[in-house]
Amino acid sequence: MKNLISQRLDQIPSSGIRRFFDLLSSIEGVISLGVGEPDFVTPWHIREAAIHSLEKGYTMYTSNSGLLELRQELARYLKAAYYLDYDPYGELLITNGVSEGLDLAMRAILNPGDEVILSDPCYVAYPPCVLFSGGVPVWVPTNPEDHFKLHASDIEARITDQTKAILIGYPANPTGAVMSREELAQIADVARQHNLLVVSDEIYSRLVYETLHTCFASLPGMKEHTILLGGFSKAYAMTGWRIGYAAASAEIIQAMTRIHQYTALCSPIMGQMAAIEALKEGEEEVGQMVKEYDQRRRVIVKGLNQIGLTCFEPKGAFYAFPSISITGLSSEEFAERLLLEERVAAVPGSAFGQCGEGHVRCCYATSLGDIEEALRRMGRFVGGHKHK
Amino acid sequence: MKEVQVQCYSGRTYAERPTSFVWQGVFYKVEKVEREWREPGERRFRVCTEDNKSFELCYNEQKDEWSLIELKGVEMKKILEILEKDARTTPEQISTMTGISLAEVKKAIEEAERERTIVKYKAMINWQRLGEEQVWALIEVRIQPQREVGFDAIAERIYRFPQVRSAYLISGTYDLAVLVVGKTMQEVAAFVAQKLAPLEGVQGTVTHFLLKRYKEDGEILERREEAKRLPLTL
């Protein structure tokens, strides 16, 4: 029984985070800043709407594209938020979270050997999704001095005949970085000039602070060049429902739907029913949650900087990405020792790419009390590990 | 929030940036937009005017309507919302959480205390957990309003009794809803029969004894929803 597993998987490194996760699970009393989801439970009216849909017997498949009512609500939302016109009959597809949307997008557009440009560091799923589709990830390094922004000129320098797409995700996991409309417009210019697609993961679009989110597709002339991926997980605290969406030209959505119909068939109907309720009535709660994240963000950023883990002020998502250089430890060593010595969990930045080394990701979607206690413990830890 | 006429720069979308506005008959030129962000259904701009005054301009997208807040009120609201959630939050913490300077936070809290906007700081206690016997009763009171003072005079006679925990004037088939707390049913019944019902102007009462308290002031008393998140996700 040799070679049970496909060779395609050889190029996907198994996540080094697995060992850390096992270690974490074996320790009691840990304050975790290692999560990647809201600490809020889905607002009750959304849960209640889903329960009601089950009571009424909505337990069947939906169309491959997703419930029409959900697509219509989405079209209305995208129009209201960004003045974007997407046709619910052909330019929108409901997916199992952005995760599936990303996979579908890559499979729909990539031929073997096609290159996809992405930022280093970036969300962990981006490179594997490119690789699964036979594509080649091309990294653009970013740095903390620059708040981990992606520069159009750096992208342009890496464009070859093989380049097919640019994959971006702002607000960013793990850095919390956002890009201004002007900075994104420069990337749009490069994409247009070189006739590249931009796959824009905007799952954190609602979680921005002191600024407005720019939807990449809303930049002049970019709707046709953009595959917009979004979802309900972060804004409405609906991670477990697995509902996301893709918005793009009819040609691309049709191609993505062709894969989706055979691999997923459709997204769970109860999640879709909940998502309709979220879009119709969930605005109030989004505002409340954003307000709370904003307060916690200020607390963690100030606290991290005070204890010497320097950190720029992230304007989006719910992550701070401080530098740990003051300790001289690698990010994996830092995370492991911090866990063992002070029982605080943070994610080593190296999990997100080479440029993430020297940093840890701290999620502030947790109670203020826990954030403050975590900061006290981290302060003690840093005090004991200052680089000599 | 007050009505205001706003001129703004509109590029690709309406209201990308306010440039000037007229409020209470005075023309203000916007010197700088200090911050812009989104609230439910609204876009907000914190602006500084030429004469160094700070305002928040809100554009309601559905109603297509502008409104204005003087900044003092906005900061006060932020501070009070935090204290309402947790009265033990220190001014230092509030300052960090909001970005408002410590001196301003302290000043605002003092002012709110002085004006009795902050009525009191106290703990919310679930005496049921100590096994303390307590009897709560919600009493509907019908009263005869009096000339010139309406319901207020008789309401005051009622709410001054320390047994009365809350008192509300309400619309509908009766006039006052009075929450009374006592040690035993007899004690509450005696209060109603001897103090409340005989008051001049009280036309009738209906006493409902509470069987269980589920939620008060937005807090669920018994259970707490436990975190079910995985400790690590990427």
Following DSSP, what letter does each residue of A155-198 receive, concatenated? HHHT--TTEEEEEE-SSPTTT-----HHHHHHHHHHHHHTT-EE
pLDDT at B71: 75
CA distance, residue A32 to nearest chain B CA (Å):
6
Nearest CA in chain B to A301: B96
Q: Which residue of A has its CA nearest to B88?
A: A369
A295 in the same domain as A238 = no
* Structure tokens that stand for B74 in this block: 């906005």
A50 in any annotated domain? no
Same domain, yes or no, for A273 and A219? Answer: yes
Shared domain for A204 and A351, answered yes or no, is no
Nearest CA to CA, how far is A133 from chain B (Å)?
A: 21
Q: Are residues A291 and A169 in the same domain?
A: no
A4 located within any domain: no
Q: What is the pLDDT of residues A161-198, one digit of tens each?
A: 999 999 999 999 999 999 999 999 999 999 999 999 99
In a domain, A107, yes or no: yes
Q: Please indicate, yes or no, whether residues A203 and A83 belong to a single structural domain of this protein.
A: yes
Grouping H, G, I as helix, E, B as strand and the rest as coil, residue A59 is: coil
Gap from B154 CA to chain A (nearest CA, Å):
39
Residues of chain B with Cβ-Cβ distance to A17 below 8 Å are: 232, 234
* Tokens at A361, concatenated: 């990701």
Structural contact between residues A207 and B38, judged by C-beta atoms closer than 8 angstroms? no
Domain that holds residue A355: 15-42+284-382
A14 DSSP 8-state letter: P
A103 plus A163 within the same structural domain: yes
How many independent structural domains does chain A possess?
2
As a whole number of angstroms, the distance between CA A298 and CA B94 comes to 10
Answer yes or no: do A244 and A322 share one domain: no
- A329-349 burial: b if 16+ Cβ within 10 Å, else e: bebbebbbebbeebbbbbbbb
Q: Which residues on chain A are in Cβ contact (under 8 Å) with B39? A: 287
User: Which residue among A215, A247, A281 closes a domain?
Assistant: A281
- pLDDT over 70 percentage in chain A: 99
Determine whether the interchain pair A17/B234 forms a contact, defined as Cβ–Cβ distance below 8 Å.
yes
> Is A21 in Cβ contact with B37 (below 8 Å)?
no
The alpha carbon of residue A388 is apart from the nearest alpha carbon of chain B, in Å, by 31
CB within 8 Å: B230 and A35: yes
Q: Say if A299 is an interface residue toward chain B (CB within 8 Å).
A: yes
Q: Do A283 and B41 touch (CB under 8 A)?
A: yes
Which chain A residues contact residue B41 at CB under 8 A?
283
Asked if the structure places residue A229 within a domain, the reply is yes
Is pLDDT above 80 for A363? yes
pLDDT at res. B61: 81
Residue in chain A nearest B41 by alpha carbon: A283
* Nearest residue, CB atoms, B97 vs list A17, A212, A298: A298
The 10s digit of each residue's pLDDT in A272-307 is 999 999 999 999 999 999 999 999 999 999 999 999
| A36–B contact, CB cutoff 8 A | yes
Q: Which of A202-206, B67-71, B85-89, B139-143 has the lowest mean pLDDT?
A: B67-71
pLDDT-derived band of residue B2, with 50, 70 and 90 as boundaries?
low
Say if A2 falls within a structural domain.
no
User: Which residues in chain B have their CB less than 8 angstroms from residue A39's CB?
Assistant: 227, 229
A-B Cβ pairs (cutoff 8 Å, strict): 75
* Partners of residue B232 in chain A, C-beta under 8 Å: 17, 20-21, 24, 32, 34-35, 345, 347
∠ CA A307-A308-A310, nearest 5°, is 120
Q: Is A145 contained in some domain?
A: yes
Q: What mean pLDDT is predicted for residues B21-45?
A: 84
When CB atoms are compared, the residue of A34, A83, A351 closest to B12 is A83
A31 is a domain residue: yes
pLDDT of residue A383: 94
Put simply, whether A17 touches B (Cβ < 8 Å) is yes
Percent pLDDT > 90 in chain B is: 48
Instruction: Name the more confident of A75 and B54.
Output: A75
Contact check, Cβ <8 Å, B232/A35: yes
User: Is A47 a member of any domain?
Assistant: no
Mean pLDDT is lowest, of A188-202, A362-376, B61-75, for B61-75
Would you state the pLDDT for residue B149? 83
Domain boundary among A281, A303, A336: A281
Output the pLDDT for position A388: 55
Same domain, A269 and A295: no
With contacts defined as CB-CB under 8 Å, which chain B residues touch A299?
93, 96-97
pLDDT at B24: 82
Give the sign of the dihedral formed by CA B197, CA B199, CA B202, CA B203: positive
For chain B, what is the mean pLDDT?
A: 88
Is A321 a residue whose pLDDT tops 70? yes
With a pLDDT cut of 90, the percent of chain A lying above it is 91
> Does residue A175 contact residue A150 with C-beta atoms inside 8 Å?
no
Q: At B1, is the pLDDT very low, low, confident or very high (cuts 50, 70, 90)?
A: low
Q: Give the confidence band of A369 by pLDDT, cuts at 50, 70, 90.
A: very high
Judge if A139 and A175 occupy the same domain: yes
Q: What percent of chain B clears pLDDT 70, i.e. is strictly above it?
A: 97
pLDDT at residue A199 greater than cutoff 70: yes
What DSSP assignment string belongs to B67-133? EEEEHHHHHHHHHHHHHHH-TT--HHHHHHHH---HHHHHHHHHHHHHTTSS--------GGGGT--
Contacts of A25 in chain B (CB under 8 A): 231
* A222/A137 same-domain check: yes
Query: A-chain residues within 8 Å CB-CB of B87?
Result: none
Mean pLDDT of B155-159: 95
Chain B interface mutation, best of A204, A368, A375, highest count of B Cβ atoms under 10 Å: A368
| pLDDT for res A365 | 96
Which domain-ending residue is among A250, A281, A312?
Answer: A281
* CATH number of domain containing A138: 3.40.640.10
- B140-156 burial code (b ≥16 CB/10 A, e <16): bbebeeeeeeebeebbe
Given an 8 Å threshold on Cβ–Cβ distance, is B99 in contact with A298? yes
Q: What mean pLDDT comes out for the span B72-76?
A: 80
* Residues of chain B contacting A213 with CB distance shorter than 8 Å: 38
CB A248 within 8 A of CB A215: no
Claim to verify: residue A181 and residue A263 sit in the same structural domain: yes
Search chain B and give the residue with CA nearest A16: B234
Cα(A163)–Cα(A196) distance, rounded to whole angstroms?
A: 7
- Out of B37, B93, B229, the one facing A35 most closely (by C-beta) is B229
Q: Cβ contacts (< 8 Å) between A182 and chain B: which residues?
A: none
Cβ within 8 Å, pair B231-A24: yes
CB contact under 8 A, B93 and A299: yes
Residue A25 sits in a domain of what CATH number?
A: 3.90.1150.10
**Chain B residues whose beta carbon lies within 8 Å of the beta carbon of residue A220:** 12
- Same domain? For A277 and A288 the reply is no
Residues of A within 8 A of B93 (CB-CB) are 299, 368
Predicted local distance difference test score (pLDDT) of residue A51: 97
Give the mutation candidate from A33, A295, A296 for the B interface (greatest B CB count, under 10 A): A295
pLDDT band at residue A20, thresholds of 50, 70 and 90? confident
Task: Kindly tell me if the per-residue pLDDT of B72 is higher than 80.
Answer: no
Rounded mean pLDDT, A317-329:
97
**Quick one: pLDDT at residue A1?**
62
